[in-house]
Structure 1
């Protein structure tokens, strides 16, 4: 096969970043990159991203795409940083699902951010079933709303990069309680994925290692259909179980900084008059 899939695990957020390349042409795409962020100190750094940049250079790859599966709430993307660091030597384009505009509109109001909400922070916004070429490889974008409205998966050569739809079978599926999320929509998206050929490899964006099991990041459609703990009964049971579970979950630790950065493809906030950049936290007062 002409496809090569390499994964990089970010321990802090339990996130997998994927570097997918065409062996024939050495062209590559990077899916769901991660920056390093210390929430207590407010320090944003890029060691994880720099390791990937070094790997790209060392293997003489040409990075053409930096892709997001959605605007994540649990880590800050390194997309804009990587694009800036690679500069003119790599013609990489930032891209995500077209419904990012809906997410931008909601969260720019919540955080009072003065920003365009037309997706212009990205060079390409994908609609459902759009295709693009990565060297000799044909990549299909599949819209998978439910976790968030803008969620998409990337299908290439029998490999599906699922973003936050599926987890490993013993962890079930993603939460649906973010703005614009829907357990019904996610169920439909999951069924669409399960309609792919049994042997399709599903690459996870996260693994939380339940019960301390070994880290894992891939499974198949057949394995998910047979073993996923959230999909062993009816659609209504799934929706009810998902909604009940979501109501008990904590807010992601990096929700506020991550969303503010990620709806802008990882671009930094503007410098203020005191030469400092700020991310904001909406305050809810309980008396």
Structure 2
């Protein structure tokens, strides 16, 4: 993956269609992607998952290892790892993958949007993480509408605020990997109640995405189908979202969207892995350092009823 001069338009230039492998991680309901250039077999991984069992507090790498195995089966060279944002519901495998792939001969660059520093500073202070553990952990900080290359493929990094302030999407040909912006049309959109989130911003992000040509495919970061009704689906077209998206279909006003989104967010519990995820993800996928007692730990907040006893 090579960064290139800024491209201030979302109009795609003619190029070969990318090869897209969508890999669903069921424990966190996350879609991971490998996007490859058919001409050169260079590829990027988008939003990879590091496995974490919060009952046993065990980190493992089965999901990430499966991505490496998939890339090897197709003889891909992974040149980049793209993060859409600092996820609050799963741990990123970016650092693990970078280290494993570098040991095999090619070190991919890890890229994220330029506003990640705001998020790192906020949660660094909240969890007491020294800035030395997160400063400079990402190789590429994308500007808005900055171009990048995957072999002969050209992509564009797009700022998609709303879910989080740092959120980026990646357009590659007639495909947009939108992270946690739009979900399956029957589900609508992602929550906006994280620090820096904004329902109004997400409304305009959604309207921008749905102004793209009808055939453009929007690849989501998660899916939460009701068991027995359908299998997880990684994408829907712009036309499908405009006609069917629960929150953003044509005709929905900003006021209607903001009221519905905020009402829904008030009903949502915090993500199950929110504290562990943020402490790893602001570090670019690195785990907390081992302390003087030889223990690697996460900091978890505790609520005490009747403080003062």
TM-score range, shorter chain: over 0.9
Q: Is the 8 A contact 1:105 1:117 kept in 2?
A: no
SS of the residue aligned with 1:105? helix
| 1:71-150 equivalence runs, <5 A | 71-87=86-102, 89-116=105-132, 120-150=136-166
Give the number of equivalent residue pairs. 287
Correspondent of 1:42 among 57, 63, 79: 57
SS of the residue aligned with 1:172? coil
Quote how far apart the aligned CAs of 1:75 are.
0.6
Q: Is the 8 A contact 1:101 1:117 kept in 2?
A: no
CA distance in 1 between counterparts of 2:241 and 2:127 reads: 37
Quote how far apart the aligned CAs of 1:223 are.
0.7
SS of the residue aligned with 1:12? coil
Correspondent of 1:273 among 264, 288, 292: 292
Do structure 1's residue 12 and structure 2's residue 27 form an aligned pair?
yes
SS of the residue aligned with 2:92? coil
CA distance in 2 between counterparts of 1:97 and 1:22 reads: 22
Quote how far apart the aligned CAs of 1:116 are.
4.1
Correspondent of 2:279 among 260, 272, 280: 260
Correspondent of 1:217 among 224, 231, 234: 234
TM-score (ref. length: structure 1): 0.97
CA distance in 2 between counterparts of 1:26 and 1:122 reads: 24
Q: Is the 8 A contact 1:152 1:163 kept in 2?
A: yes
Correspondent of 2:244 among 222, 227, 248: 227
Quote how far apart the aligned CAs of 1:268 are.
1.3
Correspondent of 2:74 among 37, 59, 69: 59
Residue segments in structure 2 that go unaligned for 5+ positions in a row = 1-15
| 2:195 equivalent in structure 1 | 179
Greater Cα offset, 27-36 or 55-64? 55-64
Residue segments in structure 1 that go unaligned for 5+ positions in a row = none
| 1:242 equivalent in structure 2 | 261
Quote how far apart the aligned CAs of 1:87 are.
1.2
SS of the residue aligned with 2:121? helix
- Hey, which bits of structure 1, 4+ residues long, moved more than 6 A? none
Quote how far apart the aligned CAs of 1:210 are.
3.4
CA distance in 2 between counterparts of 1:127 and 1:93 reads: 16
TM-score (ref. length: structure 2): 0.90
**Pairwise CA RMSD:** 1.3
User: For 1:151-182, what per-residue CA distance to the aligned partner results, in whole angstroms no more than 9, with x for missing partners?
Assistant: 11100110110100000100010000001101
Q: Is the 8 A contact 1:167 1:204 kept in 2?
A: yes
User: For 1:39-63, what per-residue CA distance to the aligned partner results, in whole angstroms no more than 9, with x for missing partners?
Assistant: 0111000011111111212221110
